[in-house]
Structure 1
């Protein structure tokens, strides 16, 4: 399924908790707190906080379709939001896996502020420009030590691997899991469409779904195994869910 089938086909699932069942992300945060022994994270990452950081009681959607309303309420760039929704629909239809567009959006915010880090943006073709490349994974600055695995083809570094693109994949992970959202050509980690589809595919490989809190935690842990990261993603995803909860599902997309 390509990006061309974005919002319209996914409207039946956009108001779900985002992969997690009735306990919701607040339950996930509680479980993470118990497991880690720390206090829950704030409602969204800081520096600077997105619009989801503050409670938003009963947000009233503006005129327009679901995507326009959701983008306006959450501050997610419309092009990135379309990719997250399409990737969630792909996971549900093709993989039988509940991921949740807001789970993907939570990761996208924590990893790259939806492709806007380093002064960039996601352009109309879905590519983040300039390309986003993380710091060298050389064992310093609390990073893993991962020597170059791709000759610098993806990350431009022939000595150490670096995380790449709006969803921050390392080259070896991308080589194994990378998928083209359009089904054509080589997938690119700089494309928010390909990166979101790949993230959904990668998250689903742990348990085949993120429908239950424990499954959600295991999936996010496979992406980044730190309690702080899991809490930030959970809090941000819950914020996005809350802000979009009152948008009518029959809004045309």
Structure 2
């Protein structure tokens, strides 16, 4: 508008109404007039407003597709509290009776459950398996194993060369694979299997797909399997005695295993008289 040309007030008011009709919905203007509000409300800007130029552009097909792609590609937002929440720590394993290491306690009870499914007629208890573990290796030298039951140091017995009283001579049968001895066999693991017996009765006790005599869970389940072989009923003292004698042909050995089994079931240490020396 020219600086030296001053329009009349009536023309300004008419232009203001026309400009506002492009910015305010017609219904609102009508409502304002009906309520008594002046229709010639001055514009908020002194610039001329073109209602057609200010109207939002109709979205094109390309715009709609682009917006859909952007929305689909947007990553999901995870609340910070959930993203930072730590995983719950597993509950610690409980120790067994008479100071039995927790990992051994768990392995013996696991073996009992496995045999209850595989051979329910045997009726073997975790305390009987623990009796063997106590006599053979003092529970892997006090539970020296990781959380999966793998021994921190392998347990390997003396060479079965017949040099000790009552000891059988057993020449190497596994090329030293389990015991590292290519001349004689040796008993291995926390429950002391000789390689030939392990080849027959060794099983996977912890579900990792490997049967390892140096693993507490595998050894305990394999000991239970061996004791239960041949229709054994470990609830019968005569049948249980025969099974333990297969492990070690010594009545002193049977007495020790039985005494420790009873101790773990009662929580009372065996007396010295209950633990004869094993020759």
Q: Same fold (TM over 0.5)?
A: yes
Q: What corresponds to 1:230 in structure 2?
A: 254
Q: Secondary structure at the match of 1:122?
A: coil
Q: What corresponds to 1:132 in structure 2?
A: 155
TM normalised by structure 2 equals 0.60
Q: What corresponds to 2:101 in structure 1?
A: 77
Q: Name which of 105, 123, 126 aligns with 1:98.
A: 123
Task: List per-residue Cα deviations over 1:139-166 (Å, max 9, x = no partner).
Answer: 0112210000000000000000000000
Alignment of 1:159-170 (within 5 A): 159-170=183-194
Q: What corresponds to 1:20 in structure 2?
A: none
Give 1 or 2 for the bigger CA radius of gyration.
2
Cα RMSD (Å) = 1.8
TM normalised by structure 1 equals 0.66
Structure-2 separation of matches of 1:93 and 1:121: 28
Contact 2:232 2:240 in 1 (8 A): no
Q: Secondary structure at the match of 1:129?
A: coil
Structure-2 separation of matches of 1:86 and 1:182: 8
Task: List per-residue Cα deviations over 1:193-242 (Å, max 9, x = no partner).
Answer: 00011011111013332111111101101111101100000111111111
Structure-2 separation of matches of 1:194 and 1:76: 18
Q: Secondary structure at the match of 1:198?
A: helix
Structure-2 separation of matches of 1:223 and 1:111: 10
How big is the shift at 1:89? 1.2
Contact 1:207 1:219 in 2 (8 A): no
Structure-1 separation of matches of 2:152 and 2:252: 28
Contact 1:206 1:218 in 2 (8 A): no
How big is the shift at 1:181? 1.3
Contact 1:116 1:122 in 2 (8 A): no
Structure 1 residue 155 and structure 2 residue 184: aligned?
A: no
Q: How many residues align?
A: 175
Q: Secondary structure at the match of 1:114?
A: helix
- Off by >4 Å, runs of 4+ in structure 1: none
Q: Unaligned stretches of 5+ in structure 2?
A: 1-90, 269-279
Structure-2 separation of matches of 1:182 and 1:124: 11
Alignment of 1:1-253 (within 5 A): 68=94, 71=96, 73-96=97-120, 97-116=122-141, 121-142=144-165, 143-243=167-267
